[in-house]
Structure 1
Amino acid sequence: MSILSSLKFRFAVGFAALSLIGLGSGYLYTQSTSNKLSQHQNLSLVQQEISDLPQQHFQNTAIAELAPPDSTEKQNSTLSKQKSSSAPYKVIDELKRYKFSVRGNQILSSAKLPNTKVNFNQKDLLFVLINTKKYFQTYSSQDADILRTGLLASSGVSVQDVLKTLDFMIAVLQEDIANNRVTRLQDPNFINKNFRVIKWSAYNPQNRNQERLRITKYAVFTHPGSRKKTAKFNTPIYSLKDNGSSNKFYTKYTKQDVLSGIYEPGGKEFGKVEPLAYLTREGLEEALMQGTILINFNDGSKAFFNVDRNNGIPYIKGVSPRAQKRYWYFRKVDAIKGYGYKIDAKISIKPGVTFAGDVLNIGLGKIIVLEYPQGGSKRLKMGIIADTGGAFLPNLYQLDFLAGIFQNQNAFKRHISQLPEYATAYILVKK
Structure 2
Amino acid sequence: MTLAHKLTPALSAAGVRVGRGLWPVAQQTAAAAVSWGLASAVTGHQAPIFAPITTLVALNADRGGRGSNAVRFVIGVILGVVIASWATDLLGHGVRAVALAVALSLLAALIIGGERIIMAQAGVNAIVAVVTGTQAGFARVIDALFGAAVALVFSQVLFPAHPLALLRRAESAILADLSAALAWTARAMAAGPGDSLDWARGPLRAAYAQLAELSEARDRATVAAVRAPVWWGQREPIARECDSAAQLDLLSNSCLTVTRTAIAMDTGTREAFAADVRELSEILASLVGNLDRRAVRQHAAERVAALARRGAEAQAWWPAVELLLFDILVFLGVGPGDADLIVRDQHTDVRVAPPPALNRPVPQRFSNRRSPDEKGGNREGDHRGTWKARRAPRRRGS
Please give the TM-score of this superposition, normalised by the length of structure 1.
Answer: 0.22
Q: Which of structures 1 and 2 has the larger relative contact order (alpha carbons within 8 angstroms, sep 6+)?
A: 1
More strand by share: 1
Which structure is larger by alpha-carbon Rg, 1 or 2? 2
Which protein is richer in helix relative to its size? 2
> Normalization by structure 2: what TM-score?
0.24
